[in-house]
Structure 1
Amino acid sequence: MSDVMEYKCPACGGAMEFDSKTQQLKCPYCDTQISVEEWERQNAKDQGTAQWTSTGNETWSQEETQDMKVYVCQSCGGEIIAEQTTGASSCPFCGNKIVVKGQFAGDLKPDRIIPFKLDKKAAKESYKNHLKGKSFLPSVFARENHIDEIKGVYIPFWLFDSDIHADVSYKAEKIRVWEQGDMEYTERKSYDVKRGGNMSFSHLPVDGSRKMDNTLMESIEPFDFAEAVPFQNAYLAGYFADRYDVEAKDSQERVTQRIRKSAESAMSQDMEHYTSVNMAHSDIHILNAEYMYVLYPVWLLSTTWNGEHYLFAMNGQTGKMVGDLPADKQAFWKYVLSRGVAIGAVLYGLMWLLMLL
């Protein structure tokens, strides 16, 4: 078997790439298209080997990893994996140059993958739209901000399923104010409110990459797991895959916090009839916890402006774009002062009216 494996076009022999629009492998030379499953069947028949399959948390086989390389960023230390034919010149996380480390080996094989649904063109358009309507964005940012790289990267996520039982207690208060004659009366009633129940969480994601900001990844949620398919190497053609460096057990604290926050929020619903509600105690029991390892599609846009690096991320399935933007401090304080002057003028006018009455 060859030391280098390509997703060769059955018509012309060129290196095929996964096309997000057609959800098939496509040849950039002769436009031949073929489904991932059909390519795998043909390749397995041609090579005389079994078809690749994915069954929960198995490891990579030697045949699967021999066509993949590890690229390492000398600045942030990020490691990504890609097929050997994928060109790599800069890090999708920090924009600095990356080098080939060597053959990829080890780690768990993903259980599922959501293939890219949107292409690079859609990522550029989403980025432009993201800049529109930002009140305090410097006016020159959109013109001068230079896009260094746009790369499609499969980000590793741990998905957690869990049943929970929650017992939450609150201190609540009702306040009623009324006037009678020249007197104003205030009535306060205090309540001890207790709520409990069972809840289920399915496919709650936590990214498995230390170099990816957790808040950034949570901001591009949700991903629709219904479109996830069993992992096959061919989906990586033309893209990168971030190599996970956070174990599932190390993600449990974060997912527990997310579950706790969601459960407490759900328990506090429909309490508008109280004037104030404060949580007194929360007891969340997590039951039947399970997890799986998946790859989700993300477009990363690395940009530079005024010597500063900015990273934008777009959900490669839904098109949701997020990323920090610089603020025009002069415009911000001008807005604050103008609003302050306007509010001050209104208050001054009201005071004069009261004095005249």
Structure 2
Amino acid sequence: MDDTIAYKCPCCGASLVWGSKEQELVCEYCDNKFTEAQLKEIADEENTKAQEMNAKWNVEETDDDNGMDGMKVHICQSCGGEIIGDENSVATECVYCGSPTIITENISGVNRPKYVIPFKLDKNAAKEKLKAFYKGKRLLPDEFSKKKHIDSIKGLYVPFWLFNCEAEADITYKANRTHFWSDANYNYTKTDHYMLKRKGKLAFEKIPVDASSKMDDKYMDSIEPFDYNQLEEFSEKYLTGYYADKYDVDIKASEPRANERVKRSTEDKFRSSVKGYESVIADSSRINVKNGKAEYVMFPVWILNKKYKDKIYTFAMNGQTGKLVGELPIDKCKARKYLFGITAVIFIILQIFVWI
């Protein structure tokens, strides 16, 4: 039984990819567009005609894994080549023919997401935003702005858990209010001290926590928010032409981050209700999170990593909204030249003033 999916153009046989602009499966060679229903109808017709022509080949199995612990071999549906990926790979491409390939065993059963937000920004848009991000940064090493580096940006569906829950909170604050007045002889200051209590419930929906150990949580938090109005029922068609991994951080391991976000949001909400005081300090806080549920989803991210001076620098962009974040290095050689140039200009200006 095949464990991969590759969408092919019925007209020319080229690979189909998900078109972020068209919101359909698109052939980049003959420009035809197809819905998933149209492809299924065409495939059903072809399968009916080819039923008597099917043949199967048996391959002798071996216990020798050739040292490939944690890796799996899949067969490309386009060229028959071997696709080697780790146990979390969901969407990748064949190294031999470049065909987009979806590994179905990693998106079945409990590994199948409930929802997905499709890519809304294509690769060209992502590259233009990256160029704009680099623009004007004079001390950036040259290799970061080279076309080869920018072209290597990848579209990746990142696994997330969306948590729904309720929070019951009981928070006590110490607050001060100060009054000032004067008479003919003295200036007076009076400080009133208050003990304030806030108690109530909050409901939370769709708190995102990335479920991949490969992704830096700080980067994933920084490119939020995602527009949940564009959540779609999951379908393999959205993955074709992109990379994707299934979750490797389960719900239990993700709960502490979700709880921390609930706690911070609850404290901020309750604190905003305390007004009219010069100083407010939380004296005690009891927050109980209950009725927690989580849904497995995939969100679109454009990602680019570059190693420079033994450090990995990452650029990440929300594939739906375009919000981006990145850390950039400084070319020390350029910095010295730039500093020397400024010093030289200042020296010349000073000399001009001396001779005036």
- Which interval holds the TM-score relative to the shorter structure? 0.7 to 0.9
2:139 is the counterpart of 1:140: yes
2:236 is the counterpart of 1:236: no
Partner of 1:58: none
Unaligned ranges ≥5, structure 2: 49-74, 340-356
Which whole-Å CA distance do the structure 2 matches of 1:152 and 1:199 have between them?
Answer: 36
How many pairs align?
297
2:214 is the counterpart of 1:200: no
Which whole-Å CA distance do the structure 2 matches of 1:294 and 1:169 have between them?
Answer: 37
Who wins on radius of gyration, i.e. which is larger? Answer: 2
Conservation of the 8 A alpha-carbon contact between 1:131 and 1:142: no
2:91 is the counterpart of 1:82: yes
1:140 counterpart letter in structure 2: L
- TM-score scaled to structure 2, two decimals? 0.73
Listed one character per residue, the Cα deviations across residues 206-236 of structure 1 (whole Å, up to 9, x for unaligned) are: 0001121111101101111221111111111
2:337 is the counterpart of 1:323: no
Which whole-Å CA distance do the structure 2 matches of 1:218 and 1:185 have between them?
Answer: 49
Compared CA separation, residues 233 and 103, structure 1 to 2 (3 A): closer
2:11 counterpart letter in structure 1: A
2:70 is the counterpart of 1:71: no
2:293 is the counterpart of 1:290: yes
SS in 2 for 1:325: coil
RMSD in angstroms over aligned alpha carbons?
3.3
Compared CA separation, residues 288 and 37, structure 1 to 2 (3 A): farther
Partner of 2:29: 29
Alignment of 1:72-221 (within 5 A): 72=86, 79-83=88-92, 85=94, 105=106, 108-131=111-134, 139-141=138-140, 143-145=142-144, 146=146, 147=149, 149-181=152-184, 183-221=186-224
Compared CA separation, residues 15 and 22, structure 1 to 2 (3 A): same
2:11 is the counterpart of 1:8: no
1:5 Cα offset (Å):
4.0
Alignment of 1:303-342 (within 5 A): 303-306=306-309, 308-326=311-329
Partner of 2:54: none
Compared CA separation, residues 171 and 32, structure 1 to 2 (3 A): same
- TM-score scaled to structure 1, two decimals? 0.73
Conservation of the 8 A alpha-carbon contact between 1:70 and 1:79: no
Conservation of the 8 A alpha-carbon contact between 2:139 and 2:330: no
Comparing 169-178 with 33-42, which one deviates more in the overlay?
Answer: 33-42
1:21 Cα offset (Å):
0.9
1:79 Cα offset (Å):
4.8
Compared CA separation, residues 157 and 103, structure 1 to 2 (3 A): closer
1:183 Cα offset (Å):
3.0
Which whole-Å CA distance do the structure 1 matches of 2:313 and 2:326 have between them?
Answer: 8
SS in 1 for 2:253: helix
1:325 counterpart letter in structure 2: L
Aligned residues with identical type, % of pairs:
38
SS in 1 for 2:276: coil
1:82 Cα offset (Å):
1.8
Which whole-Å CA distance do the structure 1 matches of 2:38 and 2:104 have between them?
Answer: 27
Listed one character per residue, the Cα deviations across residues 135-171 of structure 1 (whole Å, up to 9, x for unaligned) are: xx6x230644253620000000001111222221111
SS in 1 for 2:153: strand
Which whole-Å CA distance do the structure 1 matches of 2:95 and 2:258 have between them?
Answer: 34
1:278 counterpart letter in structure 2: I
1:119 Cα offset (Å):
0.8
Which whole-Å CA distance do the structure 2 matches of 1:37 and 1:171 have between them?
Answer: 62
Compared CA separation, residues 9 and 143, structure 1 to 2 (3 A): same
1:326 Cα offset (Å):
3.2
Partner of 2:68: none
2:255 is the counterpart of 1:256: no
Unaligned ranges ≥5, structure 1: 49-64, 73-77, 90-99, 335-357
Comparing 169-178 with 116-125, which one deviates more in the overlay?
Answer: 169-178
Which whole-Å CA distance do the structure 2 matches of 1:170 and 1:3 have between them?
Answer: 58
Which whole-Å CA distance do the structure 2 matches of 1:44 and 1:157 have between them?
Answer: 34
2:112 counterpart letter in structure 1: K
2:250 counterpart letter in structure 1: E
1:14 Cα offset (Å):
1.6
1:301 Cα offset (Å):
1.4
